């Protein structure tokens, strides 16, 4: 198959003439084609599922506090969803806690609505995988309550089966006695066929091994582990989690692959985002000059953008990145991370630059040891 450099314009992809394949392939790819920016059969294994190499996160869909969500955005978010699915994205990550105040669960409700109102190819709609997370709320004390949480998510999504049911965080650090009930809840929802696969989120190395073994003893494979993972979050614990996932056949799903936006190249110490992110950015951005410079150099050489290079690094590490999207422009931008790969030398250059950067992303307080 030819290797080409795609340029996305809405849903039409134009391939330039710098292609490396047979003359027949090059002739076919030298004119505008309505194709996704990566071939549809390029999927990665995620437990029993086959999914796109990148998914999209929906934390912002319903979150007013951090992301400024308003219900007037819903029609635009439907366009975001449609464009993603039209271009081969089939995995969407959400959670039963996504949405603030009266909008709790709004992200799941919107995803369900967008799936029902999608007017593209039926096979593309049927191929969608929803990965949702169930919060370890203090009042969820029994396996039955966790199963009820799963059924409530299914009601909001209005689907018959969830792709991946994930435990949102571990209670090992503050309520270890609660943990086993939640694990038993994962087993129950899997055994009842409510979910096709189970995963965890924010689990550190030790707890990840424990829950893997616990589930394996009950005949339930752990298919995924979702953690903060990016060129800003590649500390000792994160890399140990990656090694454990590789050794146990667990797929790592990397959230915040752009460091909440710090790896987009859009912000500087003198140009900060509005809202709660501004304080975090002001503390970290001044120390990121080596990394942002290397990202910019590779982006220029590759004729890509800084976010596309940062996301592609996550893909090259064997993870499934799930950047958040709120606009059509963000979807178009992120789709450019697909269909190509950094060289090993480029990956090493970025990792070295990350090591020279004096600041790192603050780790999620919910992540265990």
Catalytic-residue membership of 267: no
User: What is the distance between the alpha carbons of residues 192 and 187, in angstroms, rounded to a whole number?
Assistant: 9
DSSP structure class, residue 358: S
User: Which residue(s) pair with 225 in the sheet?
Assistant: 200, 252
CA 207 to chain centre: 21
User: What is the distance between the alpha carbons of residues 263 and 311, in angstroms, rounded to a whole number?
Assistant: 9
Per annotation, catalytic residue among 15, 69, 98, 203: 98
Task: Provide the 3-class DSSP secondary structure of residue 56.
Answer: strand
Q: What is the dihedral of CA 93, 96, 98, 102, to 10 degrees?
A: 150
Q: Are the beta carbons of 107 and 95 closer than 8 angstroms? A: yes
Task: Provide the 3-class DSSP secondary structure of residue 220.
Answer: coil
- Strands 49-51 and 162-167 come out as unpaired
User: What is the distance between the alpha carbons of residues 58 and 135, in angstroms, rounded to a whole number?
Assistant: 15
Q: What angle do CA 182, 153, 84 make, to 5 degrees?
A: 120
User: What is the distance between the alpha carbons of residues 191 and 155, in angstroms, rounded to a whole number?
Assistant: 19
User: Side-chain half-sphere of 208: how many Cα atoms within 13 Å?
Assistant: 30
In sequence order, which ranges of 249-368 are alpha helices (DSSP H)? Answer: 277-284, 289-302, 306-316, 328-335, 344-356
- Please identify every residue annotated as catalytic: 98
């Amino acid at each position: 198959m030819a290797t080409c450099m795609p340029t996305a314009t809405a849903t039409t992809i134009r391939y330039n003439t710098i292609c490396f394949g047979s003359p027949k392939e090059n002739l076919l790819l030298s004119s505008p084609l309505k194709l996704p920016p990566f071939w549809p059969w390029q999927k990665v294994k995620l437990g029993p599922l086959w999914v796109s190499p990148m998914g999209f996160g929906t934390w912002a869909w319903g979150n007013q506090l951090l992301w400024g969500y308003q219900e007037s955005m819903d029609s635009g978010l439907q366009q975001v969803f449609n464009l993603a699915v039209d271009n081969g994205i089939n995995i969407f990550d959400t959670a039963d806690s996504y949405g603030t105040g009266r909008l709790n669960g709004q992200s799941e409700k919107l995803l369900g609505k967008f799936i029902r109102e999608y007017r593209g190819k039926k096979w593309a709609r049927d191929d969608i995988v929803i990965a949702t997370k169930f919060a370890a709320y203090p009042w969820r004390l029994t396996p039955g309550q966790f199963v009820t949480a799963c059924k409530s998510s299914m009601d909001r999504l209005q689907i018959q089966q969830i792709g991946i049911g994930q435990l949102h965080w571990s209670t090992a650090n503050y309520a270890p006695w609660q943990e086993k009930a939640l694990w038993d809840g994962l087993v129950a929802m899997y055994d009842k066929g409510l979910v096709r696969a189970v995963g965890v989120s924010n689990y550190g190395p030790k707890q990840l091994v424990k829950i893997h073994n616990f589930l394996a003893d009950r005949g339930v494979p752990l298919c995924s582990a979702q953690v903060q993972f990016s060129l800003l979050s590649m500390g000792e614990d994160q890399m140990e989690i990656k090694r454990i996932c590789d050794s146990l056949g667990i797929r790592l799903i990397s959230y915040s692959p752009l460091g909440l936006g710090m790896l987009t190249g859009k912000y500087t110490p003198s140009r900060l985002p509005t809202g709660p992110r501004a304080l975090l950015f002001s503390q970290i951005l001044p120390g990121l000059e080596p990394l942002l410079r290397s990202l910019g150099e590779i982006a220029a050489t590759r004729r890509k953008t800084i976010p596309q290079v940062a996301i592609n690094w996550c893909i090259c590490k064997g993870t499934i990145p799930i950047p958040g999207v709120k606009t059509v422009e963000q979807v178009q931008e992120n789709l450019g991370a697909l269909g190509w790969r950094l060289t090993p030398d480029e990956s090493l250059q970025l990792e070295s630059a990350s090591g020279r950067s004096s600041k790192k992303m603050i780790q999620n307080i919910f992540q265990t040891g």
